[in-house]
Amino acid sequence: MPALEFHMDSSLARAARHLCQVSARTIARNADLDADALRKYEKGADVFDEGQIQRLTDALVTYGARFVPEDEFGGVGVRRKFSRTGVRMIETWEGEGGPVADDDV
């Protein structure tokens, strides 16, 4: 089966930035973009070329976004990546005791 291509769009960029809890100004500075142009892009304006979109994607990854490409199971998405320390802390919290139950997350 051929690999499916990842495509950054305005809603995905906006979701990733909000998920990482970083300002448009900070992402724009890291990606060498204009903050106002980034806000316009996030609202659906087609203001960036492929190089700018790649820099935006790289900046979002730097701040913790992990993009999930579209595949046969679902559409493209974004999630927050955790450091090894963060994963260990989560594992510790989950193993602290109490009754076993499903999470409501």
Would you say 105 and 79 are in contact if contact means Cβ atoms under 8 Å apart?
Answer: no
Element (H, E) at 79: strand 77-80
pLDDT in tens, 42-99: 999 888 999 999 999 999 998 888 998 888 888 888 888 865 565 566 566 656 665 5
Helical segments of 4-80, H only? 10-20, 24-31, 35-42, 50-62
Residue 16 has pLDDT above 90, yes or no: yes
- The domain that contains 27 carries what CATH number? 1.10.260.40
* Count of structural domains within the chain: 1
- Would you say residue 27 lies in a domain? yes
